[in-house]
Every structure is written in C-alpha cells, then in structure tokens.
C-alpha cells in the first residue's frame, strides 16, 4: 500500500532562485537530517534522467538510495522516482513551485511504498512523514533563504 505526504511553504526568494537551489539535488543535507550524504551520479546539468545517490539514516538503519529525475519543467516542476529497492521507497516525489508575491510557494510531496517487510512498517513511516511534513517544509524554507 502506498501513501502520500506533502508540505507547503512560501520561501522569500524568487522562483528561479528557489528552483535552481532545489534542482541542484545535492542540497538535501541542508534541510533533511536523515540525509548523511548525497551526490549527483550523472554528468551535466540537472534534468530528466539525472540520477542522485544518497546515504540516509532512518530509524537507526543506514541505507543507500538512488533517485532519478523524471520530469523537469524550469522553474515550476521537478519530479523524481526512487530506483533503489529498500523496504520503504519513494515511489514518486516532487516539488511544485509558483510565484507568491516577491517569493515562491513550494509544495514538496513523496509517495511512500513498502516492499517485503516494509509493507508492515510503511503505515508507521507514512504517519511520521505526514506529522513532520510542515516542519520539513519549514526546514526547506530556512535552507533556501540562507
């Protein structure tokens, strides 16, 4: 069973700057405490087909994750899909950006899916992610405004 969580925030920066910051893909450590390391695996600027590999720590377990950008519409939309096979994966996720006054309204979402034993713990992970979503959006705001 898959489930979605999302968070929305207004960042006090122009949409082009916020898009560039988020599209870089390697800034996740700035706002996600679970990300220990993240690198871009493919050459060239970010776009459809770009792959990022990260090391994350969830519930005391460290795992490797691989994400591929599946949609890339400057400066409005970024979509990704997790290509790695962990007990819980982000089947799809993304950012939606739109101008909001002098700033940018950003909505982040992920659709979490359990595999194997992850099917049993996915509801707990989803509940925790939904509970943290507003704070997660605020961490993105704080990082993007630095």
Task: Give pLDDT tens digits for 107-120.
Answer: 999 999 999 999 99
What is the Cα–Cα distance from 49 to 15, expressed in whole angstroms? 23
Query: Average pLDDT, stretch 48-59?
Result: 95
Q: How far apart are CA 29 and CA 127, in angstroms?
A: 22
At 64-84, the pLDDT tens digits run 999 999 999 999 999 999 999
DSSP 118: H
């Amino acid at each position: 069973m898959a489930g979605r969580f999302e968070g929305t925030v207004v960042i006090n920066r122009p949409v082009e700057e916020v898009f560039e910051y988020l599209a870089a893909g390697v800034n996740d450590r700035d706002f996600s405490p679970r990300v220990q390391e993240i690198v871009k695996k493919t050459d060239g600027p970010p776009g459809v087909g770009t792959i990022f590999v990260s090391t994350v720590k969830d519930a005391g377990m460290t795992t490797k994750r691989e994400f591929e950008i599946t949609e890339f519409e400057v400066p409005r939309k970024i979509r990704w899909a997790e290509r790695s096979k962990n007990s819980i994966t982000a089947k799809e996720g993304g950012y939606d950006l739109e101008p909001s006054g002098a700033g940018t309204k950003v909505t982040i979402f992920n659709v979490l899916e359990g595999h194997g034993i992850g099917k049993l713990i996915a509801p707990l992970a989803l509940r925790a992610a939904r509970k943290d979503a507003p704070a997660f959006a605020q961490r993105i705001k704080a990082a993007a405004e630095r």
